[in-house]
Chains A and B, each alone.
Chain A
């Protein structure tokens, strides 16, 4: 323990809470409070109601929620697939090739996501790659954005993976593909799982690139929240935001439960 005296410890805790609560907890609580009210003109909101939730889980909001879920799941699956593949391929490369591949995958994160959104829109608005106007363009943009995190997390795990397992498997007569499927991937599973959770959460909250290219019949939830609050329906928007937050956390919780079962050490 860094601080020994009892008073010092209390002071540290107080300082921590003073910083942490206003920065992280209060804004989220405000959203929750707003979602249950009809009016907020004083210090506290007034006119308690649950009507906002009625609107938030019906009609176009519900459709936006499924849109978001489908997009996030699809983007996470693609990101994991491409990211792990690239990470496994990079692990077999020399230092320079590895660095080049890393840079390539980090590019969409380094570039502002609005630019990524616009770039994807322009690139795929014309045959032969005409995706504009279809849900696929949203999935594609999200995949491009989140693959970086999948790649990063899986390549970090590959570096940590002790080569003795692969070598033991090879000495027992296992071909490289068998070693990959039966030894390396199972040992990487905890990291793949963590990467999946991260990708899903990022995709669920993606707004700026989505704004650039979403087709009218494929509006993810963050866009719905943005348009609702932009129209002035602050409290309905808050309720939708709480639904988004709750759904994401629920899925992450489920994923993390999977993770504890998948980790073997």
Chain B
């Protein structure tokens, strides 16, 4: 079956308030696409438009090449997993998983128990088939919810912040589970809505970064992390130092007093731009692209020290390997970074992408 999701200029508005602004996005068959953004960025609305719970004011939604914009949710054939699990409290685990199969009447009755067992096996919940959802922990409930969504063998799986209600340790375990499920079900396209960059970086084949009802950037996790196209992506996908710089004639940029050698591409000389440097790529001591400043704050994080250094009145973050001696506040310090680790962004959010 041909799967995949396509948004074609989809806009959603609630009473004149635009919550999704002309979204164009394609999720390839078998691809995991993460919709990453802060709350209110429109990412959940985009997912709900695919599920059929919100009707776009304009644009079309395609599932596997079929225009589903006008179809009610129950005729779209999607699997959905939400943050609150939404398991039916009056049904046992096996009945919850069988719900979609019974409702659709697409599968002969005799085959249902086998399909249920298969789905529960896949999520490691076979031993709990006879329990009620209230007798399970949060992580177990979410596994059952995933099994319930997979039992109908959807070509598209929608995941709406599925791990947000779990604690940190459980979350990383479930993340590995989801990655395994993706490997076992290579034909299922997944749309994964999250505000957590780690989940998106770990799981997604591509990430669509959303903010203020718009798509800001889209690319593979590596692309977005190493070569962000705008300030929003740089700061939302991973941690970033965003330094206001001025492009110099003859290459390089000026940051306060310091002259930094970085690739300026085709940026016009004299124009203002933003330099993005990841804190963990900033080193301590003399080197190329040296920045001199004073230490304002030191955080010990076990394996690393996070230094907040004030350079020309601007804070610069540096994550360095744990230091034997904790630096003294107010002490002068020199930082450096390699030219290829810096990315020059166009000034202001959006102009780069």
Contact = CB atoms under 8 A, between A and B. Distances in A.
B348 to A, nearest CB: 39
Contact of B152 (A164, A172, A176, A189): A172
A73 B152 CA distance: 42
B90 interface: yes
Contact of B86 (A165, A175, A186): A165
A183 B104 CA distance: 15
Interface stretch (B77-85, B301-309, B323-331): B77-85
B89 interface: yes
B73 A171 contact: yes
Contact of B80 (A162, A171, A175, A264): A171
B99 A174 contact: yes
Contacts of A58: none
A162 B80 CA distance: 16
A168 B80 contact: yes
A168 to B, nearest CB: 4
**Residue among A164, A173, A174, A186 facing the most chain B CB atoms (10 A cut-off):** A173
Nearest to A185: B90
A224 B82 CA distance: 58
Contact of B99 (A167, A172, A175): A172
Nearest to A175: B74
A171 B51 CA distance: 7
B79 A171 contact: yes
B62 interface: no
B74 A265 contact: no
Given A186-B90, A264-B134, A164 B103 contact: no
A178 interface: yes
Contacts of A168: 80, 82, 86, 88, 145, 148
Contacts of B72: 170
A157 interface: no
Interface string B126-148: 00000010100000000001001
B56 interface: no
A167 B51 CA distance: 9
A255 interface: no
A165 B145 CA distance: 12
B53 A173 contact: no
Contacts of A162: 84, 86
A160 to B, nearest CB: 13
Interface in B69-110: 72-80, 82, 84, 86, 88-90, 99-100, 103-104, 106
Interface residues of A, number: 21
Given A167-B53, A169-B103, A174-B100, A264 B89 contact: yes
Nearest to B151: A172
A122 to B, nearest CB: 45
Given A171-B80, A173-B103, A174-B99, A183 B74 contact: no
**Residue among A168, A174, A175, A186 facing the most chain B CB atoms (10 A cut-off):** A168
A164 B84 CA distance: 8
A164 B73 CA distance: 13
Interface string A88-130: 0000000000000000000000000000000000000000000
Contacts of A187: 88-90
Contacts of A176: 74
B89 to A, nearest CB: 4
A172 B100 contact: yes
A167 B132 CA distance: 20
Interface string B146-157: 001100100000
A183 B88 CA distance: 7
B88 A265 contact: no
Contacts of B75: 173
Contacts of B100: 172-174
A183 B89 CA distance: 9
B134 A172 contact: no
A173 B78 CA distance: 8
Contacts of A186: 88, 90
A257 interface: no
Given A164-B84, A167-B51, A265-B134, A172 B103 contact: yes
B86 A164 contact: yes
Contacts of B74: 170-176
Contacts of A264: 89-90, 132, 134
A9 interface: no
Contacts of A173: 74-75, 77, 100, 103-104, 106, 152
A132 to B, nearest CB: 44
B178 to A, nearest CB: 18
B89 A182 contact: no
5 contacts: A167-B86, A169-B99, A170-B74, A172-B100, A172-B148
Interface of B: 51-53, 72-80, 82, 84, 86, 88-90, 99-100, 103-104, 106, 132, 134, 145, 148-149, 152, 158
Q: In the A-B complex, list the 9 residue pairs whose CB atoms are closest, starting with the nearest.
A: A172-B100, A174-B103, A171-B80, A173-B104, A170-B73, A168-B86, A164-B86, A264-B89, A186-B90
Interface of A: 162, 164-165, 167-176, 178, 182-183, 186-187, 189, 264-265
Given A178-B103, A264-B132, A264-B134, 16 more contacts: A164-B82, A164-B86, A168-B82, A169-B88, A170-B73, A171-B51, A171-B73, A172-B74, A172-B99, A172-B148, A173-B104, A173-B106, A174-B74, A174-B99, A176-B74, A265-B89
